[in-house]
Amino acid sequence: MPETSIHNFFPTPVWVVDYEPETHQPLNTHLVKTLYDMVGDRPDLAPGATLQTDTNLHEFDEFVDLTDLMAHSVSGAIKFLRLATADFHFTGCWANINPTGGINTPHTHPNNYLSGVYYVQVADGEDTIFFGDPRPQAIVVSPPVREENIYTGNEVVVEARAGRLVIFPAWLPHGVPPNRSQNDRISISFNVMFPNFTEQMSPPKWEPSIRLKRRQERESF
């Protein structure tokens, strides 16, 4: 009989970090109060709409405990990927407040390397975040299956729970379904990117086989 092996090419990593109750419970209590105090009076929202704050929460002292946790977990993700650089910085950090019926349709976060979301307040056992297959050609032919599996599915769902941080590639499509609870669903999202990307990382990775000599400009008299 021939020997068959299966190779999973081009895997997409998603990191799920669950902080201990003694860490996330006091932190989330602080975050809820801080966010409501900062938001103040809410604007009128259309059905299904979501409130989003400014994108610079990482610059506020009130959120330093959270951004420290985020940064530590991002460092772990970068170490796991064995990147040549460990340097990164936050390019944005903002809160999402989903009232009843609030939804975040599928989207990506362009011009960033990693993104993440931390859950502050969710309905136990009801809230999720879903990730879509980033390969558009994967759903062109989608035959019926006897059982869903990683090779035929086009969407992966991760449970959202208070104190959970989810980190993923910024190009991975993701979204959240409508909030069906009577309480706000509160999460804090962020993006990270490499500093000095243009100078340090965007030049070609290959070494030239021919190096050109720069001609000196002639002095004019």
Q: Concatenated DSSP letters for 41-73?
A: SPPP--TT--EE--SBGGGSGGGHHHHHHHHHH
* 44 within a domain of the structure (yes/no): no
* 10 within a domain of the structure (yes/no): no
What domain range includes position 168? 15-38+51-141+153-195
Amino acid 88: pLDDT: 96
Output phi, psi for 197, to 5 deg: -60, -45
Output phi, psi for 27, to 5 deg: -65, -45
Neighbours of 104 (CB within 10 A): 21
Amino acid 169: pLDDT: 98
Amino acid 12: pLDDT: 95
Sign of the alpha-carbon torsion through 89, 189, 13, 160: positive
Amino acid 209: pLDDT: 67
* 90 within a domain of the structure (yes/no): yes
Amino acid 163: pLDDT: 97
Q: Which CATH number is 118's domain given?
A: 2.60.120.620
Domain count, the chain: 1
Amino acid 216: pLDDT: 65
* 69 within a domain of the structure (yes/no): yes
Amino acid 217: pLDDT: 62
Amino acid 198: pLDDT: 83
* 2 within a domain of the structure (yes/no): no
* 67 within a domain of the structure (yes/no): yes
Amino acid 218: pLDDT: 60
* 70 within a domain of the structure (yes/no): yes
For the question of whether the overall pTM of this predicted structure is more than 0.75, the answer is: yes
* 126 within a domain of the structure (yes/no): yes
Please report where in the chains the tokens 């809820």 appear, as a residue: 32
Q: What is the residue-level pLDDT of the chain in tens, covering all 221 positions?
A: 899 999 999 999 999 999 999 999 999 999 999 999 998 888 887 888 888 999 999 999 999 999 999 999 999 999 999 998 899 999 999 999 999 999 889 999 999 999 999 999 999 878 999 999 999 888 898 899 999 888 888 999 999 999 999 999 999 999 999 999 999 999 999 999 999 888 877 777 777 767 777 766 666 55
| Short-list 172, 203, 174, 201, CA closest to 187 | 174
Amino acid 221: pLDDT: 55
